[in-house]
Structure 1
Amino acid sequence: MALKSSFGIVLVLILLCFIDITHGLSPKLFDVRNYGAIADEKTDNTQAFLEAWDDACAYGGRSRFYIPPGTFLLGSVSFVGPCEGTMAFLIRGTLKAGTQPHKFSTDTWIGFRYLSDLTVKGGGYLDGQGQVAWPLNDCSKNSHCGPFPVSMRFDFVNNSRIHHLRSIDSKNTHFSIFACYNMSISHVRITAPEDSPNTDGVRIGVSTKIEISRSVIRTGDDCISMLSGSKDIDIYDVSCGPGHGISVGSLGRSHGDEYVSGIRIRNCSFIGTDNGLRIKTWASSLYSLASNMIFEDIFMQNVRNPILIDQQYCPFPPCGNWGGSSSSAVQIKNVKFRNVWGTSSSKIAINIQCSRMMPCRNIELEDINLAYNGSGGAATSLCSNVKGFAFGRQRPPGCL
């Protein structure tokens, strides 16, 4: 028995030593210039980046994929794992997307897939050169419009961080998170013109435990959008504007059982946005559920729709007759708006339009102070098909 016990102890020590050796390997730098990358804004560096990635991913220790100062032209590229060790993707310079239409008829510019323990940082720039794509984007009129590339996409990425980056003029969404777990985005600055189409700042779908913080997002669409399958999302210290605000949805269009839950948005500001805090579901939809959301300590300045629940969402009509069989079947419940203050650019500062088929349940308004900054009287609220409560100060007077 003593011999077996001693053997077990030795085996454990060997395994611990192996783990220490693996994690104790010195960080190794993989400089893209050593693979032929040239920062002349003309050379397509896609192949050089892929070769550098292959070596970095195969290294069993702490890999440092290094992009030095300078401007590197880069085509559509996907960095795929899993990798043998941890990976830091260091962007010190500027990555510039191509401008030829045939090169951006894809859904991804820079993609990361099937990775864990990834860090993307460095203080550098992602320049999507979206000016060449926006005039070709007819998605506001055409629900079957073709793809435009997301600047940086994360698919099936876990336990990872993105911080200290700047993304400008994306052709489509700036950062996309899909099927990811335990990721954080912080200290990023996202910029695109107010009229640039579909340039969401961060889009989240089918992902759990995502944190977005300490960032500035100025874009032409949603600053942050949370689509089907978004769970346990924490957003704080984010400045949004211009843009369409922070949105949950749209939900219920493609298929049923689209669940969004555990959303917390706090200590954020909205400056000159179309919407502030918005939940939107398609007017014609299958059953889904959006629940357990808290929006608190929110400042609004000149926001057109500070608080908006829209279950009549229909950007591509016709959507059927509201109130009939085509009503939204998305159940919205357990939503709190707490300590929201500032100014509305429209008279209806609180607009909660829920489904007749599936009324909103347990909606709470607590300490709301929103003033109308135009002429024609004070701000008002409008509610339909909603059950809920109002507490504390209510300006405008609550409609619950």
Structure 2
Amino acid sequence: MNSRILLPLLLFSLVCITNGTKVFNVLRYGARSDNKTDNAKAFLRCWIDSCRWRGKSRFVIPRGWFYLGAVVFRGPCNGHKEFVIKGVLRAPIKPGLFFIDHWITFQNMNNLRIYGGGTLDGQGASAWPYNNCKTGSCKPLPVSLRLDFINDSYIHNIKSINSKNFHFNVFSCYRLAFRRVTISAPHDSPNTDGIHISGSGGITVDAADIATGDDCISIGPGNRGIHISNTFCGPGHGISVGSIGKSETTEESVSGVAVVNCTFRGSLNGVQIKTWPDSKAAGGSASNFTYDNIWMEDVENPIFINQQYCPFNLCNPQGSSKIEISHIIFRNIWGSSTTRDAVKLNCSKSHPCHDIALENINLTGPGGVASSSCSNVHGRSRGRQTPPSCLH
């Protein structure tokens, strides 16, 4: 057959058109739903064609169980792209295959939509015994889903379970939205942060359900305009800004964080800001945060500013953080603490916190009694204050 005729026929066999959207199905590129064949090459071939197609295209993983080795989906692409996961993707469990820092990565794209109701199964139990950072030196373990330089995009109706490291890692992304994502790992799984955000802006998380072994959401340096709403956390280590100040270079500031209408149940922390006490770097700040309308149920540290964060004694806990924390509002926060000290504002001696506000706080501790503690902090309180405010 003439090659000029063969090529259009081949493309037609791999692609169909639905409502003006080109659909690329991984099965037509050789992917197999047998839970043992590594589908990385088939997925990449499918992605390359989908990405190159001018106009809107839809990359489809149908229902089934797909084993998948490490893969990077690169852009830029032509037009709006949809990545539809309907099945279950399962990560490698052999140590020789997973000592890298990523499993599934998207890079350098605009107008990407990831959805479909499917599941990313990191099979983390195979790797958690290797995740020992007590010496400060850890072998790299893969983040389940990395999003690097992704803008004006949307991730919704996706489930991530048992990640080996972070579930979702967001780096240098702008105007990126998560909605109705479900994240799950055992309470004792190490470093399984639900969503980690760094160097990004205009990030929204809405209606997420997160139960994991580390921070439900962690907000690192260089972020601005982060909005988290209607999200459930527990078990986990709460929604944390930080840690900040570990680097020996000046770290980018964090500003404009809002956490509203959220629920914490059985978590180690509720809303937390944490900085290292003995960073050699100068500068850096965390400012203009609002925590509003939050329910705490059996949370160990419901409201916590911790400027002496020093895990595994990898620093000098008696040092003084150089990160300046200011203009923070804790408003309409109620529920129960499993410890007596329900409100802890532990700020830096050399760089005290200022413009900190406690408004309408109603937290009870064991036996119905709670207390608050402040050090090196300046601010105000108003409305109901249970426990009695340490700000005056």
Range into which the TM-score falls when normalised by the shorter chain: over 0.9
Equivalence for 1:100? 94
Q: Does residue 193 of structure 1 match 2:189?
A: no
> CA shift at 1:257, angstroms?
3.5
Equivalents in 2 of 1:347, 1:98: separation in Å? 44
Letter in 2 for 1:32: V
Where do 4+ consecutive residues of structure 1 move more than 6 Å? none
Determine the structure 2 residue equivalent to 1:112: 106
Q: Distance in 1 between matches of 2:119 and 2:292?
A: 32
Residue 222 of structure 1: SS of its match in structure 2?
A: coil
Q: Percent identical across equivalent pairs? A: 50
Equivalent residue of 1:267, what SS?
Answer: strand
Q: Return the offset for 1:135.
A: 1.1
Question: What is the alpha-carbon distance in structure 1 between the residues aligned to residue 124 and residue 316 of structure 2?
Answer: 35
Task: Check conservation: 1:334, 1:362, Cα contact below 8 A.
Answer: yes
Which of 326, 333, 337 matches 1:340?
A: 333
Conserved? CA contact 2:243–2:273, under 8 Å:
yes
Using the TM superposition, give the Cα deviation of residue 61 of structure 1 relative to its aligned residue in structure 2, in angstroms: 1.2
Distance 1:84 1:241, change over 3 A: same
CA deviation vs aligned residue, 1:166-197 (integer Å, no higher than 9, x gap): 11000010011000000000001100000000
Alignment correspondent of 2:7: none
CA contact (8 A) 2:222 2:251 kept: no
1:225 to 189, 193, 218: 218
Instruction: Measure the CA separation in 2 of the matches of 1:318 and 1:198.
Output: 16
| Distance in 2 between residues matched to 1:35 and 1:167, nearest whole Å | 25
Partner-residue secondary structure (3-state), 1:316: helix
Q: Any conservation in 1 of the 2:310–2:317 contact (CA below 8 Å)?
A: no
Given candidates 287, 291, 316, the residue that maps to 1:295 is 291
Counterpart of 1:188, as a letter, is V
- Give the conservation status (yes or no) of the 8 Å contact 1:252–1:258: no
Quote the residue 1:16 is aligned against.
none
Residues 265-276 of structure 1 mapped to structure 2, 5 A cutoff: 265-276=259-270
Does 2:63 match 1:69? yes
Aligned equivalent of 1:170: 163
SS at match of 1:209: strand
* Number of equivalences: 371
The CA distance in 1 between the partners of 2:362 and 2:220, in whole Å, is 29
Query: Deviation at 1:102?
Result: 1.2
1:316 Cα deviation from its structure 2 partner: 3.4
In the other structure, the counterpart of 2:383 is 392
Q: How does 1:130-279 map to 2 (within 5 A)?
A: 130-139=124-133, 141-254=134-247, 255-279=249-273
Deviation sequence 1:297-318 (CA, Å, 0-9, x none): 0000000000000000101325
The alpha-carbon deviation at position 25 of structure 1 amounts to: 8.6
Equivalent pair of 2:364/2:387 in contact (CA under 8 Å): yes
- Matched residue SS, 2:160: strand
In the other structure, the counterpart of 1:91 is 85
Which among 40, 43, 51 is matched to residue 49 of structure 1? 43
Asked whether 1:307 is paired with 2:298, we answer: no
Q: One-letter code of the match for 1:388?
A: G
Deviation at 1:57, TM superposition (A): 0.5
Instruction: Render the CA deviation track for 1:328-382: whole Å, top value 9, x for unaligned.
Output: 000000000000000000000000100000000000000000001x24x710001
CA distance in 1, matches of 2:314, 2:22: 57
Say whether the 8 Å CA contact 2:310–2:316 is kept in structure 1: no
User: How far apart are 1:111 and its partner, in Å?
Assistant: 0.2
Partner secondary structure for residue 313 of structure 1: coil
Displacement after TM superposition at 1:84 (Å): 1.1
**Secondary structure of the equivalent of 2:342?**
strand
Unpaired stretches in structure 1, ≥5 consecutive residues? 1-23
| 1:21-51 Cα shifts (integer Å, max 9, x gaps) | xxx9920111000110000001000000000
Structure 2 unaligned regions, length at least 5: 1-17
What code does the residue aligned with 1:371 have? T
TM-score by length of structure 2 reads: 0.93
Check if 1:82 corresponds to 2:82. Answer: no
Task: Tell me the TM-score normalized by structure 1.
Answer: 0.91
Single out whichever of 266-275 and 141-150 deviates more from structure 2: 141-150
Distance (whole Å) between structure 2 residues aligned to residue 189 and residue 142 of structure 1: 32
**How far apart are 1:117 and its partner, in Å?**
0.2
SS in 1 for 2:312: coil
